[in-house]
Structures are given as C-alpha cells and as structure tokens.
Amino acid sequence: MADTPPLPDRVIVKTHLKNSSRLQKDAAREIGISEATLSEWLNGKRDCSEETRKKLAAWWKRVDSTAVVDLKIAELSLVDPDPVPAPNLNLKDRPGFVYILTEVGNGKRVKIGRTSDIMTRLRNLGTGNPDLRLESAMHFTDYVQAETDLHKRFEKSRNKANREWFAVAPKDATAALYELYGK
C-alpha cells in the first residue's frame, strides 16, 4: 500500500463542492463512484477501498492546484474564530493560526508553523515553494504556545537544519493539531 495516493481532506472536498456549487452526484460521477459512497466518505461514515482511494486521489489531482490554498482558507471559516482555548494553553492574548504543510510528493515530513494572518502566510510560502500543500490549520487563542506545544510533541523528529520541519506523517501531525485544539 506504499504507492497508494493520499486521500484529499474530507473538509476540503466538502468546501470545494460547496464553493463551486457542485452537486455531490455530479462529483461522484466525475470520480467514478456512487453518490452514496461519496456521501458516506465525506461524512466520515465509510473508509475507502483501494480502488475508491485511487479514484478520489486522481480526481482531486485534477482540481486546479491554485484553488487548493483558497479551499484550505475556506476550511478555516469552518473553525470557530473564537475557540475555547485548549486546557494546556497559557493565555497571552496572541490569537492566530498553527498550520501544517507538506511538500507535494514528500509525505514523510511536515512543516509546523504559526501566523496571525493565514492568507498572507500561505501566499508568501507558495511563492517561495509552489510544491507546498497546506494539510491543516487551526485558530488558537495563543498560537505561539500552541505551536510550541506541537514542536515539543515532535521534538525527536525535528530536522535540526530546518527547525520547523519534522519527520512526521501529515496525518499524525494533523491528529496532534486537532487533539491540541480539543476536538
């Protein structure tokens, strides 16, 4: 299963369908799966078979890559802008985002960073390296502490030459981010 393409994020696909005014049945037809399969996957009620995974990944690859950042930004609107801080955060009134990036084609390491302006940060990072892909982002009351907590969690996997890059699977980093957020 090492050559199995990664699945797109469910929330991002939902956001894409909503923002593009596409119907699930039309997307399912484009992907080559049933509408019920797509709906159950989008709602977390079903895992994908190997064949469905490949079809979803291939379909997602066809989505305009410039739209991916916009879709991830749109995803952030689904996150409560005034979150209840996770219990382990020290409140210092520093609201902002902690994000997780990967390089397209390299699913073995992630960049864990922070910013108070997610849209500007993503555009600036994309200019320097167009192969970067936003995996997830969450808004925190104290984003400095949240980023520090994630960095500490993955300290043993840190790339010493590049302090914000970690040898961690994107799904593990995203799970830790959601866990930190309290989801």
pLDDT, tens digit, for every residue of 23-43?
788 888 888 999 998 888 888
104 in the same domain as 18: no
Distance CA 180, CA 183 (A): 8
For 169, the domain range is 76-181
Answer whether residue 32 is part of any domain: yes
Query: What token pair was written down for 38?
Result: 């797509």
Residue 5, domain member (yes or no) = no
Q: How far apart are CA 97 and CA 107, in angstroms?
A: 22
Residue 145 is assigned to a structural domain of this protein: yes
CA torsion, ordered 157, 158, 160, 163, to nearest 10 deg:
170
Residue 148 within a domain: yes
Query: Model confidence at 90, in pLDDT bands (50, 70, 90)?
Result: very low
Q: Which of 1-15, 17-31, 114-128, 147-161 has the lowest mean pLDDT?
A: 1-15
- 33, 108: one domain: no
Looking at residue 154, its pLDDT comes to: 93
Task: State how far the Cα of 72 lies from the Cα of 11, in Å rounded to an integer.
Answer: 9
Same structural domain, 126 and 51: no
Q: Does residue 47 have a pLDDT over 70?
A: yes
Tokens 């410039």 belong to 66
Would you say 114 and 96 are in contact if contact means Cβ atoms under 8 Å apart? yes
Give me the helices (H) in 32-117, please: 35-42, 50-62, 65-76
The number of folded domains in the chain is: 2
14 & 88 share domain: no
User: How much is the pTM?
Assistant: 0.52
Same domain, 85 and 156: yes
- Residue 84's pLDDT band (cuts 50, 70, 90): very low
Question: Is residue 50 situated within a structural domain?
Answer: yes
Within a domain: 69: no
Is 2 inside a domain boundary? no
End-to-end distance of the chain based on CA atoms, in angstroms? 29
Above 70 in pLDDT, residue 124? yes
